[in-house]
Amino acid sequence: MVAGEHFLPGRTAWADVGWKALASNLSDIAAMGGSPDLALVTLMLPPDFCVEDALALYRGLHECATEYGVTLGGGDVVRAPVFAITVALSGHAYCPADGGPVVLRRDTARPGDLVAVTGAPGESAGGLRLLNDGRSAATDAETCLIAAHERPLPRVALGQAAVRAGLRCGIDISDGLVQDLGHVARASRVSIRLDETRIPLSEALREVWPEDALRLALMGGEDYELAVIGPPAAMETWMGAATGVVTVIGEVIASGTLAVQVLDADGNELALGRGGWDHFAGP
Amino acid sequence: MVAGEHFLPGRTAWADVGWKALASNLSDIAAMGGSPDLALVTLMLPPDFCVEDALALYRGLHECATEYGVTLGGGDVVRAPVFAITVALSGHAYCPADGGPVVLRRDTARPGDLVAVTGAPGESAGGLRLLNDGRSAATDAETCLIAAHERPLPRVALGQAAVRAGLRCGIDISDGLVQDLGHVARASRVSIRLDETRIPLSEALREVWPEDALRLALMGGEDYELAVIGPPAAMETWMGAATGVVTVIGEVIASGTLAVQVLDADGNELALGRGGWDHFAGP
């Protein structure tokens, strides 16, 4: 996370920067159904960076590490013209008693599989839009969206439950639901069809951004929720272990365009245009 | 490694930046007598960074990884206003058949131990001074110093041999011989006395910087050589396995100042002043 690129200093608390730097890595491990172990932290600090801010940053890192059982094992600190933090997180894959390690992958979606998403995507992007508008949280709903943006809760336990339930395909949707499912479609050489009416929209998102809730849920990034894809039986096993948090939103269809389409209630395809997060296109 | 802080783009080849980013991490593992395994690379790239330069950078990373048997396992690329590369390298410690892992540490020096250094320290600082003077390599000696600065060869095999020989105290001297031995002195609560006449000065260093060779060897950084400290018997075993590359340069004495002193041929202490590398003091 680079100051001015991935967050705005002065608008984001340093403790939240620390939390999110680790949380975004945890989500990559969650997306494979793995278990996190050890984090190494590299800090690039400008010469005028305050010790108090560094302490706040580490407080956030430590809170997240404690929450997810991660060891903060060291790292490096160097001088730089701009603040940046990078976390290298190691973990281990699930190993059933009768075989080698198994993980969720991007290239294992098959026609007939169901597509499910955890939580309610779009809240983080809704919170970011509030912050970009210079608004602080005035209502419970706004507080909820900003918290989703600043203190995301990666789905480590749900990812682990997914591989244990026999699921083998998944991704985190930190770059946006449609864009990340596009990675799955291309890697698996299938297409994915989502049902607009089944996309879970949180009350908070609908209250704060009533016009844009669907678009934020489909295209907004940084949710650190998971999309998991698999046969109906395994999906049912998983959802039984995670009541209320997982929603089936679509299905995998035989190849065609290797793309993601979203159909409305009448079966017409939504025009999504360009969206999702491209690391070099900028915000 | 941050552009403009740790190297000057335009004066350093990108392949050398890649090599050194990994080599400096390998030296930290060498300094504990460990074996490197997996490297994760985070790149911060300005929007105008050339693809050709990124390829050259990775060529250098790959050359170093191949040389030392390291797997380049992934990482992250983000946009930033300044180029930076950080490597997180994991490895494993030596485990003798009859016990748990053993490593070289900083806090295990004891009075009566010998102090040895690998290679010929100061060459890297001598090469850096040539580069800072805007000089390119005109002689074999200058080529040697610049190569020592740009393509350091961390002492992984010598570190491994040291723990196998029963040695338990060591450090890499990337911040300068005297400064890094100072870390050992404070951590072990001892003092260290070096003998000026025994400091190995390479022919190249004496040829290019005849007046400053000793000072560069004592205070210059980025050599990625090792200082190893231990009882005479274990030291002899190690040196027998590494003929010609290891030189005994001093000894550990009972606590006192917890500092490093260098005595000249007449037994008088050299005045060293401030030196070595401080990450926040700048070059």
When CB atoms are compared, the residue of B40, B79, B82 closest to A80 is B82
pLDDT at position B78 is 94
Is residue B235's pLDDT more than 80?
yes
**Residue A82 with chain B: CB contacts under 8 Å:** 80-82
When CB atoms are compared, the residue of B42, B82, B86 closest to A82 is B82
**Residue A80 with chain B: CB contacts under 8 Å:** 2, 5, 82, 84
Is residue B77's pLDDT more than 70?
yes
> Could you report the per-residue pLDDT of A67-121, keeping only the tens digit for each?
999 999 988 999 999 999 999 999 999 999 888 899 999 999 999 999 999 999 9
- Rounded to a whole number of angstroms, the distance from the CA of A267 to the nearest CA of chain B is 38
**Is residue B249 a contact partner of residue B235, using CB atoms and an 8 Å limit?**
no
Please give the Cα distance from B114 to A175 (Å, whole number). Answer: 56
**Residue A2 with chain B: CB contacts under 8 Å:** 44, 78-81
**Residue A86 with chain B: CB contacts under 8 Å:** 42, 76, 86
pLDDT band at A137 (very low <50, low <70, confident <90, very high): confident
pLDDT at position B137 is 83
pLDDT at position A271 is 84
Please give the Cα distance from B113 to B90 (Å, whole number). Answer: 30
Is residue B213's pLDDT more than 50?
yes
Single-letter amino acid code for the residue at A247: T
pLDDT band at B281 (very low <50, low <70, confident <90, very high): very low
Please give the Cα distance from B94 to B101 (Å, whole number). Answer: 5
Please give the Cα distance from A126 to A215 (Å, whole number). Answer: 10
Q: In chain B, pLDDT over 70 holds for what percent of residues?
A: 96
pLDDT at position B99 is 86
Q: For residue B94, how many other CB atoms are within 10 A of its CB?
A: 17
Which one, of B80, B234, B120, B119, lies nearest residue B166 by Cα? B234
- For chain A, the residues whose C-beta falls within 8 A of a C-beta of chain B are 1-2, 4-6, 40, 42, 44, 47, 75-82, 84, 86, 88, 90, 279-280, 282
pLDDT band at A58 (very low <50, low <70, confident <90, very high): very high
Residue of chain B with shortest Cα separation from A49: B280
Residue of chain A with shortest Cα separation from B283: A79
- For chain B, the residues whose C-beta falls within 8 A of a C-beta of chain A are 1-2, 4-6, 40, 42, 44, 47, 75-82, 84, 86, 88, 90, 279-280, 282
CB contact under 8 A, A79 and B282: yes
Question: ipTM, 2 decimals?
Answer: 0.83
* SS3 labels along B47-110: CCCCHHHHHHHHHHHHHHHHHHCCEEEEEEEEECCCCEEEEEEEEECECCCCCCCECCECCCCC
**Both tokens assigned to B121:** 């320290």
**Both tokens assigned to B22:** 């990994």
Hey, is A206 helix, strand or coil? helix
When CB atoms are compared, the residue of A4, A77, A78 closest to B5 is A78
CA of residue A210 relative to chain centroid, distance: 22
The arithmetic mean of pLDDT across residues B195-199, rounded, is 96
pLDDT at position B243 is 73
**Residue A47 with chain B: CB contacts under 8 Å:** 280
Distance in angstroms between the alpha carbons of the first and the last residue of chain A = 14
Is residue B131's pLDDT more than 80?
yes
CB contact under 8 A, B2 and A40: no
The arithmetic mean of pLDDT across residues B162-188, rounded, is 96
Please give the Cα distance from A221 to A148 (Å, whole number). Answer: 11
Is residue B92's pLDDT more than 70?
yes
> Could you report the per-residue pLDDT of A27-54, keeping only the tens digit for each?
999 999 999 999 999 999 999 999 999 9
Is residue A282's pLDDT more than 80?
no
Q: In chain B, pLDDT over 90 holds for what percent of residues?
A: 84
Q: In chain A, pLDDT over 90 holds for what percent of residues?
A: 84
The arithmetic mean of pLDDT across residues B11-33, rounded, is 96
Give the DSSP H/E element, type plus range, for residue A57: helix A51-68
**Residue B86 with chain A: CB contacts under 8 Å:** 42, 76, 86
CB contact under 8 A, B2 and A280: no
pLDDT at position B276 is 52
**Residue A5 with chain B: CB contacts under 8 Å:** 78-81
> Could you report the per-residue pLDDT of B97-127, keeping only the tens digit for each?
888 899 999 999 999 999 999 999 999 999 9
CB contact under 8 A, B78 and A40: no
pLDDT at position B242 is 80
CB contact under 8 A, A84 and B81: no
**Both tokens assigned to B42:** 């985070």
Pairs of CB atoms within 8 A across A/B: 61
Q: Which residues contact A55 (CB under 8 A, 6 or more apart)?
A: none
Q: What is the DSSP letter of A33?
A: T
Q: How far is CA B65 from CA B26, B153, B209, in A?
A: 10, 12, 32
When CB atoms are compared, the residue of A5, A47, A86 closest to B86 is A86
- Rounded to a whole number of angstroms, the distance from the CA of A218 to the nearest CA of chain B is 23
